[in-house]
Structure formats: structure tokens, C-alpha cells
Amino acid sequence: MLRFIILLAIVGGLFYADLRSTPQIQTARQWLAWALQPVTWISSFPHALDNIGDSFKSRDALMKENTALKQRQLVLSVQLLKMQALEAENRRIHALLSSSTTLDYRVLIAEILQTSQDPYRHQILINKGEHDGVYQGQALVDAYGVLGQVIRVHANSAVALLITDPDNGIPVEINRTGLQTVALGRGDGQTLSLPFLPNNADIHVGDLLVTSGLGGRYPAGYPVGRVHELKHPAGDSFMEAIADPTAHLNRSRQVLLVWNPIPIAEQQSALPVDTHTHAAAKRAVDTTNPHQNTTAHGKPSEATSTHARAAKHR
Amino acid sequence: MSWVKTRSSVYLISLLFGLLLQFIVLPDALTLARPMWIPLLLVGWTLNAPQLPNLLMALLLGLCMDVMLNCPLGQHALGLLVLVYIVARLRQSLVVYPRWQITVALAPLWAGYALLMAVIDELAHHLATPSLRWWPLLPTTLLWPVIDVWLTSLDHRRPADTE
């Protein structure tokens, strides 16, 4: 009985300290997460088995794939040239309008180490952490749309909350009309809910939802989902829209971490406080994805921003 | 190696293996059918070997689960501690019954554990889908006899001169 009460008191203390987010408990959590890394690796072994077939591809298949990739690279290079021209034009127009919304997105590719095996928590563990400049609240995207945000950062890994988690809300706008609202995860791992829409709101099935950028956590303009159902409860003043996320949740191995958009003007006079973080992130980008440096103009920062935009437009 | 040392090794390995099974990546459809491996093993050991440090292991494994699942630190530790403590208190009354009756008697305890997790989630403002919580209860209940048979068979191998 006494042993039980002592252990219960320890748990109570830990619980209280964790809810108050004391630095000591965060450090302890980080150490424990580090110590449990072998468990994470072994438990994600079945996932690794999926990729084992790639090791036995024939030479012919690899050559075919190589040819296809080269062709695709050519097409993308042409599109990139066009994009850079458009980007320059966009900057000039924004400068004319004295707008501060010209943004440069810095990204970093991360690999998913594990998806949460708890059916009521939609979270993923990625292989980039504090050492790479990842921070709490950072947005996560894939080639098709927004995936979620980082909620906990460890030294070499981070936990991200997917947009389908019921704890997650993301400010969105209807791409067609500009109507702004919030998309909440429904907890089923597949759909998003847009509650409390006025009954006469101009929204149709098939409408694309993009991030509105409100709140500053998610960069504006990334696809979030597509409306597939509208619910009009009888006698209710509001309607609810259900949307499917555009991002390939639980289907991709790589994700992009997006740094908070920094206006170009601010970036030129970068704050010394941010320099370290962004430098770490920059190094990580350079080492993680060498393709991003090999653009027509050889400008890494433009390459990263273009990559993000390419992801956005794909 | 003495029987006590052998059993301690089996104890630790089984709990480590349980931790892996709890987190091993499964297809989405099967995730809901995953038994609650850690509670199962801890309860099994508590009924079959109460002299082992089950409460301490409940605390440690609970903390590991909290970190792995990114829950408030102490959530699963509390659930496992309470579960193991209740089973330890009820042990004398439970072990006299046949296996199927113990299986039925443990079902409310699994439900209680799931309910406690739900309550803590609610307090921590984690809005989980309630229906998903109860799915693991069925596979856990169905798996209990298997775990019990295995642990009892271990006990049968004990030399006569040991405790």
C-alpha cells in the first residue's frame, strides 16, 4: 500500500510538472524519447519492409526509371524557369503596391520515422529536431497540401500533429470565394470539418480549401482539402462542410517542414536572434536535398522557395 | 542460472516485447484491433508472480508509453499503477476461479483502464473520438487466456525447492 502511494505521488508530481511544462520535465521527456529511439526503430520495422523490394530492382527497371526521371526533370526545369520569371514579376508588382506580403518560404525535407499507433491520436514522428532548427508550431506539408504542425521538438526528432486530429484547427479560406473559416480534424483520420458556416454561405462540393495564413502559423495559399459534403441540419442556423485533406496522410514517407514566412524586407535585415536557427535549417536544407541547389541560377534560397511553391502548385 | 534469475529475465524480456508489440506499425484497419499488450502482461505477471516489482514496472512502462504516444507525462503510468494495484489486491480472490471466469472478471478492469485514459484525455482537452476507445477491449479480453496459459506454464517449470 505504501509503495503504491509513493509511486502515485511520483506520478502526480510528474503530471503536474508536465501540465506546467517546466523546463526540467521537458528535458526529462527529451532524454526518455532519446532512450526509446531503439523501440521506435524496431517498431517501425514493418514499414521498412515495404521498401525492401526497391533493393532488388532490375537494371532495366532502374534505367527506365532514370530515363523517366530525366525527362521529368527537363519538364520541371522549363517550368522552373517560367516560375522564376513569374516570381520576379510578382515581386515587382508587390513592390509597386507597397505590400509586405512577398514571402520567401524556407523548407527542409524530413522523413517520417513513425506514425502514431494510438488510433485516437493522429501524430507522426519525424527525423528532424532541435538540431535542425525545427521549432514548435512549425507547419508541415507534402507535395499535395498541408499535413499538420510540429507540437513537440526533441534533439533529433519532432512530433507533429496531423490536420485530421480532433485537437487541430487550421485557418482556411475557400479558394473560389475567399470565404474564411477554420477546418477542424474530425478524429477519423480521413476528413476535416468546417463547422458554423452561415446557411447561405457560398460553398459547393468540390471547392478547394487553402490556408488563409491567419494566425501566422501556416503559410498562406497551401491546399488543405476539398469539400465533399455539405450538411444542413434541419432547424439549425449553421451548416457544416466536410472536406477530404489533399495531403497524402499516411501514404508518404517524406514531408516538408516550412519555416514561418519572412517578408523579403525583413529577411535582408535578418535579426541576429534568428540567424542561428535559420542557419541551422539552411545547412540542413543544403545537406538533405542537394537537388535544391542545382537550379538554373544556383541560388539556394530561391531554390527552396521555389520548391515550396512547386509543392503548392502541384 | 537459478530459477529466480531466469524468471526475472523472462519477466523483463516479456515486458520489453510487450512494449514493442504495443507500438509496432500495423495497417490502419488493424490498429483498432490491437490488444492492450502492456496492461495484459502486467496483469498476467501480477496474478502469476506477485512478488515481482510489478508496480514499479507499471510506472516505468507507463512513462515510456506517455513519451511514445506524446500524452501528458503520467497518464498511462497512473492507469497502469491503478490497474496493477487493484489486480494485486484482488489476486487472492481471483486465482481460485477457473480461467474463463477470470477472463470475464478482468473485462471490467480493462474497461476501467480505458475509461481512466478517456477521463485524463478529457481533462487535458484532447478531444478523442469516444467510440475508438473501446475497440481494444475485445482483443484484450480474448487474448487474456493465451497470456495466462503461457505464464502458468512458466510457473509449472519451477523447481520444487524454490519459493
Nearest-CB residue to A25 (from B23, B24, B73): B73
C-alpha count within 13 angstroms, C-beta hemisphere, residue A311:
31
What CA–CA distance (Å, rounded) separates B163 from B155?
Answer: 11
Residue B144 in any domain: the answer is yes
Residue A36 has pLDDT above 60, yes or no: yes
**d(CA B125, nearest CA chain A) in Å:** 8
Chain B residues whose beta carbon lies within 8 Å of the beta carbon of residue A10: 59
Residue B16's closest chain A neighbor by CA? A39
User: ∠ at Cα A109 (A252, A164), nearest 5°?
Assistant: 45
Domain of residue B76, residue span: 3-156
Print the SS3 string covering A123-181: EEEECCCHHHCCCCCCEEECCCCEEEEEEEECCCCEEEEECCCCCCEEEEEECCCCCEE
**d(CA B61, nearest CA chain A) in Å:** 11
- The pLDDT value given to residue A275: 38
What CA–CA distance (Å, rounded) separates B138 from B40?
Answer: 12
The 10s digit of each residue's pLDDT in A50-83 is 666 666 667 788 888 888 898 888 888 777 877 8
Phi, psi of A240 (to 5 degrees): -125, 135
Residue B9 in any domain: the answer is yes
The 10s digit of each residue's pLDDT in B4-37 is 788 888 889 999 999 998 888 877 777 778 899 9
Q: Which three cell numbers stand for residue A5?
A: 502511494
Phi, psi of B40 (to 5 degrees): -60, -50
Residue A26 in any domain: the answer is yes
Sorted by sequence, the CB contacts under 8 Å of residue A25 that are 6+ apart come out as A14, A17, A18, B73
Residue A59 in any domain: the answer is no
Nearest to B100 by CA among B136, B138, B143, B145: B145
Domain of residue A26, residue span: 17-52
Q: What is the mean pLDDT of residues A227-249?
A: 85
Q: How many domains would you assign to chain B?
A: 1
Mutate to test the interface with B, among A43, A51, A150, A159 (most CBs of B within 10 A): A43
Q: A306, exposed or middle or buried, with CB in 10 Å at 0-12, 13-18, 19+?
A: buried
3-state SS, residue A108: strand
Element at B61 (helix H, strand E): helix B54-69
What CA–CA distance (Å, rounded) separates A123 from A120?
Answer: 9
In one-letter notation, the amino acid at residue A117 is Q
Chain A residues whose beta carbon lies within 8 Å of the beta carbon of residue B129: 120, 166, 186-188
The 10s digit of each residue's pLDDT in A289-298 is 433 333 333 3
Q: How many helices (H) and strands (E) does chain A have?
A: 8, 14
What CA–CA distance (Å, rounded) separates A42 from A306?
Answer: 36
Q: Which three cell numbers stand for residue A160?
A: 507533429
Residue B118's closest chain A neighbor by CA? A120
Q: How many domains would you assign to chain A?
A: 1
- The pLDDT value given to residue B92: 87
Chain A residues whose beta carbon lies within 8 Å of the beta carbon of residue B77: 11, 14
Q: Which three cell numbers stand for residue A133?
A: 532548427
- Range picked from A79-83, A236-240, B125-129 for highest mean pLDDT: A236-240
Give A290's DSSP letter: G
A185 and A151 in contact (C-beta within 8 Å)? Answer: no
- Indicate which CATH number applies to the domain containing B93: 1.10.1760
Residue A42 in any domain: the answer is yes
Chain A residues whose beta carbon lies within 8 Å of the beta carbon of residue B74: 11-12, 14-15, 18
Chain A residues whose beta carbon lies within 8 Å of the beta carbon of residue B34: 117
Nearest-CB residue to A187 (from B26, B68, B129): B129
Q: pTM to 2 decimals?
A: 0.62
Residue A131 has pLDDT above 70, yes or no: yes
Q: Which three cell numbers stand for residue A223?
A: 491546399
Greatest pairwise CA separation for chain B in angstroms: 54
What CA–CA distance (Å, rounded) separates B161 from A247?
Answer: 63
What CA–CA distance (Å, rounded) separates A69 from A236?
Answer: 53
What CA–CA distance (Å, rounded) separates A114 from A53?
Answer: 20
Greatest pairwise CA separation for chain A in angstroms: 75
Residue A72 in any domain: the answer is no
Residue A283 has pLDDT above 50, yes or no: no
Q: Picking from A120-129, A288-297, B105-114, B119-128, which range would have the lowest pLDDT averaged per residue?
A: A288-297
Residue A253 in any domain: the answer is no
What CA–CA distance (Å, rounded) separates A285 from A271?
Answer: 20
Residue B163 in any domain: the answer is no
A237 and A93 in contact (C-beta within 8 Å)? Answer: no
Please, which residues bridge with residue A240 across strands? A231
**d(CA B47, nearest CA chain A) in Å:** 17
Around Cβ A190, how many Cβ atoms within 10 Å? 15
Residue A278 has pLDDT above 50, yes or no: no
